[in-house]
Amino acid sequence: MPSPFSTIADSALIALDSLTDRAAGLVNPSIRLGVTGLSRAGKTVFISSLVHNLLHGGRLPLFEPLHSGRVSNVRLEPQPDDAIPRFQYEDHIDSLIRERIWPDSTRAISELRLTLDYQSASGWSRLLSPGRLSIDIVDYPGEWLLDLPLLQQDYRTFSQRTVDLARTGIRADLSREWLALAEATDMDAPADEMTARRLFEVFTSYLRACKADERSLSTLPPGRFLMPGDLEGSPALTFAPLPEIPETPATPGSLRAMMERRYDAYKSVVVKPFFREHFARLDRQIVLVDALQAISRGAEAVADLERAMQDVLECFRPGSGSLLSALAGRRIDRVLVAATKADHLHHEGHDRLEAVTRRLVERAVTRAGLAGAGIDVMAIASIRATREATVKQNGETLPVIVGTPIAGETIAGEIFDGNRKTAVFPGDLPENPEAVFEDLKQGSQPRVNAVRFRPPAIPEVNGVRVAIPHIRLDRALQFLLGDRLQ
């Protein structure tokens, strides 16, 4: 397998960044926490709630340094990287609390520094440590993470894998226009800008259709095609896979040669800088997963999420031949996979959601060599938008969740206005996670709640806003950061 970094300059820049970070850490101890997840998994909400709870004394009993009283102060500080946009925490909190709307999803990288003053649990450590830890939270789209495997694929391999996947299941219908155009295109004809642009447009339309809510497919590289940012219209983003590419070299000046060059440019100007400047500098990582959404969409969505998670977790694989082998030692030593929206189930279903998610990633974990203390899986709700209750129906007591559906949400034929609360039977997952996958294979699926709720109303007590309610945010914090605050 080819090295993801083919030049000495690439490796030297990574080594320099690593040394710079370590030197800065001697003066101001810090940890870089990467937050990512595929579309709609709740990255922005997770960061906003985490910071709000730490700043406003939220209930975090399982985050030992805070619960034991060893943390004396928590504050936001200017981030160390001036070239990275700041995570707009204040704007997102305003949307969540004052307007009670979910903030816009992550479309680019951003960063926020949170600093904790604390007393070490060890007397010896108190003598050696300044009792301060800065947490640099790096927010980036999961689609960018799915681009990292492209560093180890040439254009022909990328094309073949993409075309093979596009010919399966519901993708076959969605990709019909793109594949018909690609198959009718003479790849050995002279390079033509309009042909390249048309292929790019229909291929991107196919990716967009796969990502739509009603399908919720996850494996959709190249990631920047759906969120191009300032690279929109550039040659590095104007290419598409071609089917049945021969092993022989491309004819100079041909369409295929143009596509190969632009694919290599995409890796060079988009993927490599992200790996070198951001991903390779992370210490810890949380990957958010909307498993309930995939389950509600059926077998193909679940299989595609499993495939995407294999690609994601492969990025964290230690050892030679991995993407992290370019570093002097493995930097990302803890990875948390968190299934979000646990508040859409009764509390008895949380362990089942966790078990299903663990089953979803277990093959990827084994393949990536991450088993053991380096990885954990849990079910969380960064913001709890519902509360639990019971209703009696036909003499039977049933568990329900109560919340405010967003405006326009339809439940049993009734359209909600965004103001009225309602009780919803959340459904449940079977005790045996294998049953979920067996049911999906047979064309049936567990009945799980797919209602979209507004953020909850956050009251004020004596003029002070109460911290945002959550589920297991403290457990996530303990796994990700607890050992660095000993």
Is it the case that residue 39 has pLDDT exceeding 60?
yes
Give the Cα separation of 405 and 420 in Å (integer).
8
Is it the case that residue 162 has pLDDT exceeding 60?
yes
Give the Cα separation of 321 and 323 in Å (integer).
7
Give the Cα separation of 112 and 1 in Å (integer).
36
Across-strand partners of 60? none
Q: How far apart are the first and last CA of the chain?
A: 40
pTM for the complete prediction? 0.89
Task: Name the amino acid, one letter, at 158.
Answer: F
Give the Cα separation of 311 and 305 in Å (integer).
10
Q: What pLDDT shows up at residue 260?
A: 98
CA dist 201 to 155, 189, 193, Å?
18, 19, 12
Is it the case that residue 329 has pLDDT exceeding 50?
no
CA dist 152 to 30, 271, 368, 457, Å?
31, 11, 15, 47
| 206-237 pLDDT, tens digit each | 999 999 988 889 889 999 999 888 888 999 99
Task: Name the amino acid, one letter, at 122.
Answer: S
Average pLDDT estimate for 452-471: 89
Q: Mean pLDDT across the chain, nearest whole number?
A: 88
| 463-474 pLDDT, tens digit each | 777 899 999 999
Give me the DSSP letters along 179-196. Answer: HHHHHHS-TTSBP-HHHH
Buried b (16+ CB within 10 A) or exposed e, 32-67: bbbbbbbbbbbbbbbbbbbbbbbeeebebebbbbbe
CA dist 433 to 118, 256, 333, Å?
40, 46, 28
| 124-140 pLDDT, tens digit each | 555 555 599 999 999 99
Comparing CA positions, the residue from 170, 181, 230 lying closest to residue 204 is: 181
Higher-confidence position of 131 and 187: 187
Average pLDDT estimate for 244-270: 97
Domain limits, the chain:
8-140+278-383+472-485, 153-270, 387-461
* Domain 8-140+278-383+472-485: homologous superfamily in CATH: P-loop containing nucleotide triphosphate hydrolases (3.40.50.300)
Tokens of 196: 């390249």
Give the Cα separation of 361 and 483 in Å (integer).
24
Give the Cα separation of 325 and 323 in Å (integer).
6
> What percentage of the chain carries pLDDT values higher than 70?
89
Please state whether the peptide bond connecting residue 222 to the residue before it is cis, i.e. omega within 30 degrees of 0: yes
58 and 468 Cβ atoms separated by less than 8 Å: yes
Comparing CA positions, the residue from 470, 473, 478, 374 lying closest to residue 71 is: 478
Tokens of 111: 């960063």
245 and 159 Cβ atoms separated by less than 8 Å: yes
Give the Cα separation of 450 and 448 in Å (integer).
6
| 64-97 pLDDT, tens digit each | 999 999 999 999 999 999 999 999 999 999 999 9
Q: What pLDDT shows up at residue 378?
A: 96
Question: Residues with Cβ < 8 Å from 234, sequence gap 6 or more?
Answer: none
Give the Cα separation of 182 and 199 in Å (integer).
7
Give the Cα separation of 175 and 195 in Å (integer).
17
**Chain-centre distance for alpha carbon 416:** 30
Comparing CA positions, the residue from 324, 302, 327, 326 lying closest to residue 314 is: 324
